[in-house]
Amino acid sequence: MCYYKIKGPVAHLVERYVRNVEARGSSPLRSTLSYLPIYTYDHPVLRKETSPIKEDTSELQKLIRDMQKTMHHAEGIGLAANQVGKSLMITVIDISATKGNEHVLPLVLINPVITDTHGESVFEEGCLSLPEIREDVVRPESIGIKFLSEEFKEIEMESAGLLARVMQHEVDHLHGKYFIDYLSPLKLSFLKGKLNKLRKGEVETEYPLAPPSGMKKKKR
């Protein structure tokens, strides 16, 4: 379970929820969206600090829709722009498919900043950029966060539970950080084999992946 409290007008959030449902359902909009290949460990774009977004554009709105479709196709609950090769400070989140969180609206976070943290909790995390790897991670239980919505409206929120964890996970991505960076050296040593396979592109997923860094596409 999680809770979230939004400071400021919320009507646009309901409108956005409707658009997200349309993007996932049988809508004419769906045909204009694309699945984006997801970049995996240890591609340089995932370690770079992303750039703040300064203005709303049609290209940005298309990226948001494509990221949402890609996240849902991969059965993820969060996706940062650098995970699809775009070094921009934006992430999409949707935990409504998880038990007890059906009421939580999908979110788009542009230029997010975590302003406050409280408590501590341990929870198993995974990542679309680290397929087949799941580990317990210690994070704050609740957070305060501010960001711009996809309509470029300023939002301040307080959240806890799964939503707060996913927000922290995705904000980390935007600053070039993986969840495995929180693990001890001993735990990381146990993952060395899996990480090496990911680095070489030796992994299969149900969603499209970008070629590993340095690997060229084969010519036909």
Q: What is the pLDDT of residues 4-38, one digit of tens each?
A: 555 544 444 444 444 454 445 444 444 456 799 99
130: which strand partners? none
Query: Hey, which residues are catalytic here?
Result: 170
Tokens for 8, please give them.
Answer: 């400021």
Per the document, the length of the chain is 220
Quote the CA–CA distance of 94 and 109 in Å, as a whole number. Answer: 11
Contacts of 16 (CB under 8 A, 6+ apart): 105, 106, 108, 149, 150, 151
Q: Are 130 and 178 in contact (CB under 8 A)?
A: yes
Print pLDDT tens along the chain (220 aa): 454 555 544 444 444 444 454 445 444 444 456 799 999 999 999 999 999 999 999 999 999 999 999 999 999 999 999 999 999 999 999 999 999 999 999 999 999 999 999 999 999 999 999 999 999 999 999 999 999 999 999 999 999 999 999 999 999 999 999 999 999 999 999 999 999 999 999 999 999 999 987 665 444 3
Closest CA to 60 of 167, 150, 153: 150
Quote the CA–CA distance of 13 and 94 in Å, as a whole number. Answer: 13
Q: What pTM, to 2 d.p., does this model score? A: 0.85
**Which residue type occupies 204?**
E
Which runs of E-coded beta strand occur in 82-217? 90-93, 107-118, 121-125, 135-139, 142-148, 154-160
Tokens for 95, please give them.
Answer: 């935990």
Strands 142-148 and 154-160: antiparallel
